[in-house]
Amino acid sequence: MQKRVLVIDAIATHRIRFAALLETARYAVRTVSVSENIGSLRDCDLVVLGLPSHEPGRVISSVLAQLTGTKAPVLCLDAKCTPLRRLLVLRAGARDVLPSKTPDELLLARVRGLIREGEAEREAERRRVTAASFGFSEAAASFGSRARLVCIGELDALPGQLSAVTPHEAVHFPAGRILEEDALSMVPDAFLLHAGHGPDDLSTILPELRDQTHLAPVPIMVVYPEDRPELATHALALGASDIVADTAGLEEIELRIARMLARKASNDAMRRSDEQSYRLAATDPLTGLYNRRYAETYMSGLTERSNGRPIEFSLVLIDLDHFKAVNDVHGHAAGDSVLREVAVRLQDNLRACDLIARYGGEEFMVILPETSPEMAIGLAERLRHAVSNRSVKTSEDAEIVVTASIGVAMGRIDAGMAEQRTGTDDVPCMFDDSPFQSVFEAADAALYLAKTGGRNRVEVSAA
């Protein structure tokens, strides 16, 4: 889908030039004069605003007031673009300010970056609203506390200056040292990288920082010589989060750092929300164990993890005896307490490589990879004893005796089975025609024998 850019400028020739450049880059462009009513043009991904010679702050404030409700970032183009005017416009709410005569390559690179930022912010807001509707909202993250900044290259004076005017801790590393293994023992909150006298430092350092998994979320601001805009373009192409000319004053750098850290906080919150969503999708909310869906996907994925060699595994099904009577006599709250306690006891008696899931109301499944029949039977007996060896005490001080019936079956993944599966979605359930269907049916049959044979016992499939 084409990204939509709104170009606002009092001078018609400027609007035509910017529109032609953006349309060549396949953006959908609308142009208006500063004096026109732009309140109806809020549906855009980016606003490019040409600033007048006088009162640039008032103009951008007026534009932002008319665009109330939109999340589109504003990129200003200023014919004068002095450090003081740049600071004034940034404070007024612009996302960035570039000289009107900025080379086309740099202008388009900044447009792309700001549109991506705007999309990320809107997505974060959508997820925040969705999470709040499910009761999972969290307080907005803030970098009001002390953050750790790492200045790289010819920025040796900057840490002291930043430490004097911000609450953050800033340290300096020479460009040649930053990639040493001990240089970043603590992951910083942001990097400030000087572009130096050419693209070499950028091409060496910036991709390396971006490629390291633990540093990937850390924003990087590149300080470039104002007379070398091609370095700024190169930095953005390599993944820089922000760019700033070396003529910028300390206040502008401080403001850009604050906004960069705020965006990082928002991205971190979105990432935590994703992780929480994954946990909710994969776990049982009562016991905290994996749920049935996750267990089935895990079972189907065992073939992929076999790496072409045969693997023996065991499947254990555990069903609590007479659990309906617990709910009928003591209430569902007591029943929930029993399930939570049993889950803890089962988990405490398993290896780190074993997987346990709550498979039904009072039924649990344990998958034991690379386990012999003798080991599986011994572990099943241990689990049975862990459930029944002492009563469960509820919050109402009731003592509830719990026992479990267990069925065990063994299976084997042959080398050729890995070819039967290529992803997690092509075998949605292990009850489908998969290598594990017969193993599950055998364990279920053994569980039935344990139930009919007197309960509180382990039965092993003869298959």
Q: Is 252 a catalytic residue?
A: no
- Whole-angstrom distance, CA of residue 408 vs CA of residue 404: 13
3-state secondary structure of 180: coil
Q: Which amino acid belongs to residue 399?
A: E
Is 234:202 a contact under the CB 8 Å cutoff? yes
- Whole-angstrom distance, CA of residue 245 vs CA of residue 247: 5
Neighbours of 70 (CB within 10 A): 18
Return the structure tokens found at 387. 């459930």
Which region holds residue 236: left if phi is over 0, alpha if psi is between -120 and 50, else beta? Answer: alpha
- Whole-angstrom distance, CA of residue 365 vs CA of residue 142: 42
Q: Which amino acid belongs to residue 136?
A: F
Phi, psi of 285 (to 5 degrees): -65, -25
Residue that the structure tokens 């999972």 belong to? 136
Neighbours of 178 (CB within 10 A): 21
Tally of CA atoms within 13 A in the half-sphere of 388 that contains its CB = 19
Q: Are strands 148-152 and 169-173 parallel, antiparallel or unpaired?
A: parallel
Is 192:155 a contact under the CB 8 Å cutoff? yes
Please pick, among 117, 362, 370, 459, the residue that the annotation labels catalytic.
362
- In DSSP terms, which residues pair with 171 in a beta bridge? 150
- Whole-angstrom distance, CA of residue 374 vs CA of residue 95: 66
Phi, psi of 354 (to 5 degrees): -80, 150
3-state secondary structure of 409: strand
Q: Which of 172, 153, 121 is nearest to 223 (CA)?
A: 153
Neighbours of 55 (CB within 10 A): 12
Which region holds residue 69: left if phi is over 0, alpha if psi is between -120 and 50, else beta? Answer: left
- In DSSP terms, which residues pair with 243 in a beta bridge? 222
- Known catalytic residues are 362
